[in-house]
Structure 1
Amino acid sequence: MNIQKINANGIGIAYVKSDDKIITDVQSALDLMATVRYEVDCNRIILDKSAVCEEFFDLKTRLAGEILQKFINYQTKIAIIGDFSTYSSKSLKDFIYECNNGKDIFFLPDEDQAITKLREVD
């Protein structure tokens, strides 16, 4: 795992890159938040979709809700970047839409949009 700190108009954003799955369960998400805070002192994270297990995107598993609730509880904003058009689930598309209209969790196509969104939210 490689963590790059981005300074976006005075706001620190951690871009976490990895060839391995980083988020596979609730504990791994907590570990990610703790590592990012310890190493680069950020509470805003960009993570590639490929670093998140596929079960996360199957809402029936309830994994996404459990994990994302931890990000909200620990006041950490996250943008997961990648191509989400491959998913056909209407409920997942609705979930992504609702997240993107909030202020804590975002599903965006690329790093630039993630930086812009994470920089703008309070």
Structure 2
Amino acid sequence: MSEILEAGGTKVFVLDDDGPRLAATQDFLDVIGSLWGEAVGVMFLAIPTARLTPEFFDLRTGVAGDALQKFVNYQVQVAVVGDVSEHVAASGALADFVRESNTG
């Protein structure tokens, strides 16, 4: 079950580890819809790595780019939470993307 937490005065919508995997653009749009329906006013989202498919971490597929662009369009800040080290070790492009994303 997803939940809303407060961290440093900011409300964060945290997706449950056990929910359906997010694989397609519509899946990410559905999450944004949940923010607007269940978590009105919460514009920060935490997505566990367990909810993401391997294609998300393969930047050549465009899944991450499409998804993250939707979050930008809807002004939702997003964090991927969990161990991404295996994916980062396998892709220099992903390592660069993660490093740049973590700088703010």
| TM over 0.5, shorter chain | yes
- Alpha-carbon separation, structure 2, partners of 1:81 and 1:9: 17
Q: Which amino acid aligns with 1:16?
A: L
Cα 1:12–1:58 shift into 2, 3 Å: same
Q: Which runs of 5+ in 1 are unaligned?
A: 103-122
Q: Indicate if the aligned counterparts of 1:22 and 1:32 stay in contact, CA closer than 8 A.
A: no
- What fraction of aligned residue pairs are identical, expressed as a percent? 33
In structure 2, what is the Cα distance between the partners aligned to 1:43 and 1:12? 8
Give 1:47 deviation, angstroms: 1.3
User: Could you state the TM-score of these two structures normalised by the residue count of structure 1?
Assistant: 0.76
What residue is the counterpart of 1:59 in the other structure? 59
Q: TM-score, length-normalised on structure 2?
A: 0.88
> Structure 2 counterpart of 1:99, which letter?
S
Equivalent residues of 1:21, 1:53 under 8 A apart: no
Q: Structure 1 9/91 Cα, relative in aligned 2: closer, same or farther at 3 Å? A: closer
Q: Please list, as runs of the form range in 1=range in 2, the aligned pairs for 1:14-93 lying within 5 A after superposition.
A: 14-41=13-40, 42-87=42-87, 88-93=90-95
CA RMSD of aligned residues (A): 1.3
Any unmatched runs of 5+ in structure 2?
none
- Per-residue displacement from partner, 1:4-43 (whole Å, max 9, x unpaired)? 1112343211111042433211111010011122112211
Alpha-carbon deviations, 1:20-79, whole Å to 9, x = none? Answer: 433211111010011122112211111110101110100110111111000000000111
Shift of 1:82: 1.0
Tell me the number of residue pairs that the alignment of Structure 1 and Structure 2 aligns.
101
Q: Which runs of 4+ in 1 moved over 6 A?
A: none
Letter in 1 for 2:58: D
**Which residue number corresponds to residue 4 of structure 1?**
3
